[in-house]
Structure formats: structure tokens, C-alpha cells
A and B are shown apart, each in its own frame.
Chain A
């Protein structure tokens, strides 16, 4: 094996929601198991777990999983904690609609950059410190809400809290040091989905905290500030748990990591160039902005919408809004599942159709959400929208590993950033404007989702086809090998750097669908560099 699997920084792949119920364990003969190691779970030769036991807290693998997704969950709580309390905050700080909208944009913009930097931080300090560093340093920003007295302070604090969403990267990174690459898809998808649920949980948590604090005697304008202490404490507690209970690698901590650390066999510049010159990357950056992006946008605006339009009490509006985010528990893995399901019969074309259908259906439901006047219908369309958008997120990462083998890490990272960018953009266009109402904003956003999902029809793989065009019949051009090996230059091929791509190409033949040889459900083999 010429590559070291799961070397630090390789984790960004496997950010899939795929294989949720199918691949609970690795039974492949290609994985070299280490039966002498004394871990609670069976491990491979690198001591990475080959089995995913959800309800175990066994050290280190499952414990890492739970610490990891919980930290990501906590940052979602902190980032979106203000959203359900906006009806109170807007009166306290005398905010206008643009102020509220701009704060929403700010809350998701910071992590565009922090997610890109986080990979390097994890390389330097290890995922344990990367995660703890981020959540413990963002705890002060959450506590800062008690100082805020006007719109600019509010926007600034929400911007700073938003940086903590980069725990997504440390979460996925850490998973890849602990779990074998054959099940990393399921593990990372579950962790990502459950972390995203924080956006829903906070809509429930914050209004309840607010009511309790108010009942205890505080006035509303003080009660919401006190309520922010809870997400702040959660950040600190999770940080301490991560530092005390977590470890970077199955065998130990930072020191060992640094010995393995410099495996950067590939040049970053080349990997980046390969990513940005592939047009499919950009299509998915756009698409993810309209699945994950709109999910984050809705996390920011939906509680206020139900409070204002349907005159719900604050905590009821919070409950309704929470349902949106909590659907992630099942919706995101569901999208991955349907992607795999369609791929079995129709291959990559099935995956593309699946993504288009889910995301467009989500957009149609968003359009309807803004149009209906009755509360039960609004809730129904909101839930259908949430399933469509979140399943589309899962389905997106069912396709991303196939865009490029060499640049998978960067493409995953760019797509993730595209999600945040899409969120900032939709909030800016549709919800920061005083010129049209929130319900019109929702409808227009639904239309924009449907329009911006159309580019998926342009994604064409010569070896598998696209939504409307079949695969190329040319023997050379229509082979998986030629697609993946084309990412390497002649000199690089002579050095044998493309060997992993060749193996990946062979395994990816299952994307032809139909009665193709039973290759294991598409592996997320790690390239040796992010």
C-alpha cells in the first residue's frame, strides 16, 4: 500500500450522508484487521474502528464520535441561538429589518473562512485541540451578547460566534483518524446530520430558557441576555470534555500524530488547480448553497416568521422552528440512502436525478410555504421543505466523492463553504430587505432554489453520462480509469502517484448501475493529501 489511509487532513471526504443503513461494518477482505489490539471495537491495522456501534461510548472510537458530533451540535446551538429570540432582541436593540437580515448574513459568513483555515489548524494541533480551541475561544463571543446595546454590536457578535461553525471540519477530520475509510461515509454523514440538528434544538431551547428566566423575575430585555449564558457554558463544558476525554488518535495523542503528520505527498497548488478547473466543482458549490445554504437561512428566519405572521407565542414559534432543524436526524441520511438506492439500478445518472428531484421538490415546498395563509398548511410545507433540502444535502455528498479522486478534500471544503455563501446570499437578497415581506421572500427563495438546481443537468461524466445524456460509447473516453487518471500529468504518472486513482476508478464501476459487478458500495478511499 503506497499510501497512508486516513492521514491527517484526509478527512474531508466521507462527508457523505451515504450508506446510512447499509454499511454498518466492513467485511471486506481488503481491510487488514489487527486482532491483537485490545479495543472495544474491531480495528484495522491502523487501529481505526471497522464497526460503527452507535450506542456505545467505548474509548476511543465511539467516544470520539460522540464528543465530535456533540461539539458540532453545540456550535450550531450557539450560532443560531439569537434567531428564536429576535422578537425580543429587536425591541431591546431597536433593530430594523435590515439589521436583523444583516446579522443573519454575518452569522453564516464568518465560517466560510474559518472552515478553510480549520483544516490547517487540525494538521498543526490535531483535531482534539482544533475542536477545543475553536469552541473554547468562541465561548467568550457568546458571553459577549450581554454587552450588546445596538445593531452594530449585535451584528459583530453574531459574526464572531459564527466562526465556530468550523467545528464541522474538526469533526470530520477527527472521524477519519478513528474510523476505517470503508465506513467513514456513514460515520461522517451521521455526525454531520446530528450536528446540524443543533440549528433546530436551539429554536426549542432558547425560548424555553427565556421563559424560565423571565418567570424567575428578570425583565425581558435582561432575560434574553442571561439566556445566552447557557450556550456559552455548553461551549466551555464541551471544550473541557473534548480535552479531558478525547484523544487525537486511537493509540494516543498529539506526539504520535506529528510523526505521521507530514504525509503531504501531493502538492497543494496542483490539488487546488485540479479542483477549480473541474466545472463540476462549481456546479456543486452553487447547488449546496441552495440545499445547505437555505437550511441555514431558514434556521435564522423561521421562528420570527411564525411569531409575526401567525401570531404564535415565542416558545410555540420556537417549537415549530425546531421541527425544521431536527428533521436532520433522519432526512440527511435519507438523502444519502436514496442516492445509493438509485445508484444501484441507474448508477450515477440515478444519483443526479435523485439530487435534482429532492432539491427541486424542496424548492417547490418553500414556494408554497410563503404562499399559504393557514398555520397547519404552513407547518406541513415547512416540514416537506426541510426533508427535501436536508435530503438534498445528503445526496450532494453522495456524488461529491466521484467528482475527483485527487482533490476530494478541497472540493468537499469548497462545497461546504459554498453552502455558507449561499446562506449569506439568500438572507441578503430575500430577508434583509424592507421592500418585501418575509412570506414573499420565502416564495422567491423557493423559485430561486428551483432555478439554481437546474445546473445539475449539466453535470456530465463521460464514463457514466448525465441526467439527459448517456455515457460515452468510446472505449477509452468512456472508462472510469481515463477520467480519474486524467487528473495526473505524465511525470506524475511516471512517479506512480496515480495508483490510488486507478484503484478508485476500478471500484467506482458500480456507478454504471444495473447489473455491474458487485463492487462494494463506493469507497471513500482517502487521497494522501487534503
Chain B
């Protein structure tokens, strides 16, 4: 059983190291959390209507005590690689504070090793894209110390889609048509009236 002890020492050392460096790097984190979410591979969820239930907990295959520094859990909705293509504003960067992979917050909770679950209605400002769910564990200094995600390391399995709202409303469309018509008609009206006045005064 010297492996878990050694692992413990290494991970403690790592967490100190991480705490003293300028920022946390994703590659330095271990996937010690197991996260599952209700959407299945390829399922399409409607923004504003459908729900995701996320459950997370400490992965028991890791040594006991690894999670001693975990204070809060933040669960996020993250872009899959296909939705990051040609969109540099969603780029994955190893330095977490510059990373733009996971901009959408689902929930933040104090850490508990098991029995965590949250049901979230997909919000109406979530864009149409392919996603997975990732949870970060934060220590008392509010730095990431571990993570877990619903997909594999290559982010290629178990991805689901969200179909966003269009943002269009019939009332907006009608208002738009009315104002446009007003603009064109008043222009034509002025033109016609002035031409008539010009003819009358000649």
C-alpha cells in the first residue's frame, strides 16, 4: 500500500506547487471526480425548456484523503472541440484562467464526497453547439485542484447538443415591418406632396 501513500505525498506536494505558481494549468489536474449527466450521446436539448441533471462525486478509486483540500465544486457546461473550430473565442488553453472552454456555469456547491446532484434548465442564452459537462474542485484559495467530466480525455464521447432560442419574436418582426413601412411611406409622401406643391405654384 505504499502507492497510495506515495501518491498522497505527491499530490499534496503538487497542490502546494500549484498554489504557489502564477496560475493553475489544466494538465496539472487529476480527474478525481466522477461526473455524469442525463443527456445521452447526440441528444439535442432545447434551450429554455429541457433540463440536465448532473450528479458528481469523488471517484473512490483514488486514495482516501486526496479530496482533503476540496472546498467547493463548480459544475460547468463546456464546448466540445467541434464547436471550438474556427471560433478562437472558445479556445482551449492549458492555463485555466485564460481557458475559454467552459464559460457557462451550471451550479456551484460546497464539496461533498457523494450524493451530489443538480437539475438545471438549459438557460436561454446558451448558444447552439455541442457540449459536455465538467466539474472543477476548488480549494480554500479558490484555485482549481481537480476536475471530472462526462466525456473522455479526448472529448470525443458522450457529447450532446443544445439548440438555442432564435431570439426572434413575432412582435419584433411586426414592429420592424411597421417602422420600415412608415419610413418608406413618409419619404414617398413628402416627395409626392412637394411635387404637387411645386406643380400647383407654377
Contacts and interface: CB of A to CB of B under 8 A. Distances in A.
Contacts of B194: 253-254
A236 B179 contact: yes
A136 B168 contact: no
Among the interface residues B167, B179, B184, which one has the most CB atoms of the partner chain A within 10 A? B167
Interface stretch (B49-57, B65-73, B86-94, B148-156): B86-94
Contacts of B173: 146-147
B129 to A, nearest CB: 7
Contacts of A98: 86
28 contacts: A96-B87, A97-B87, A129-B191, A136-B184, A139-B179, A139-B180, A140-B179, A140-B180, A140-B183, A140-B184, A143-B177, A143-B180, A149-B166, A149-B168, A219-B125, A220-B125, A221-B125, A221-B164, A221-B167, A222-B169, A222-B172, A235-B183, A236-B179, A239-B183, A239-B187, A243-B187, A308-B89, A438-B88
Given A92-B127, A225-B167, A255-B198, A437 B88 contact: yes
Contacts of A243: 187, 190
B128 interface: yes
A236 B183 contact: yes
A91 B168 contact: no
Interface string A206-226: 000000000000011110111
A161 to B, nearest CB: 13
B182 interface: yes
Interface string A185-224: 0000000000000000000000000000000000111101
B88 A146 contact: no
For the complex of A and B, list the 10 residue pairs with the smallest distance between their C-beta atoms, beginning with the closest: A221-B167, A140-B180, A91-B127, A96-B86, A143-B176, A139-B183, A136-B187, A434-B86, A146-B176, A146-B172
Interface string A120-158: 000000000100110011011001101101000000000
Interface in B87-113: 87-89
B61 interface: no
A382 B165 CA distance: 36
Nearest to A92: B167
A311 to B, nearest CB: 9
A146 B86 contact: no
Contact of A221 (B85, B166, B187, B198): B166
Interface string A79-117: 000000001001110101110000000000000000000
A528 B77 CA distance: 67
A160 to B, nearest CB: 12
Contact of A308 (B88, B168, B186): B88
Contacts, number: 103
Contact of B128 (A94, A136, A225, A437): A94
Contact of A137 (B85, B124, B183): B183
Contact of B184 (A87, A137, A226, A255): A137
A461 B131 CA distance: 64
B64 interface: no
B5 interface: no
B175 interface: yes
A90 B124 CA distance: 15
Interface residues of B, number: 32
Given A94-B129, A96-B86, 8 more contacts: A92-B166, A129-B191, A136-B184, A136-B186, A140-B184, A219-B167, A232-B179, A236-B183
Interface string A19-38: 00000000000000000000
Interface of A: 87, 90-92, 94, 96-98, 129, 132-133, 136-137, 139-140, 143-144, 146-147, 149, 219-222, 224-226, 229, 232-233, 235-236, 239-240, 243, 253-255, 308, 434, 437-438
Nearest to B128: A94
B168 A225 contact: yes
Nearest to B89: A308
A123 B187 CA distance: 18
A437 B93 CA distance: 14
A280 to B, nearest CB: 40
A91 B190 CA distance: 41
Contacts of B184: 136-137, 140
Contacts of A253: 194
Interface in B24-82: none
Contacts of A255: 198
Nearest to A141: B180
A30 to B, nearest CB: 36
B187 A147 contact: no
A434 B191 CA distance: 48
B163 to A, nearest CB: 10
A149 to B, nearest CB: 5
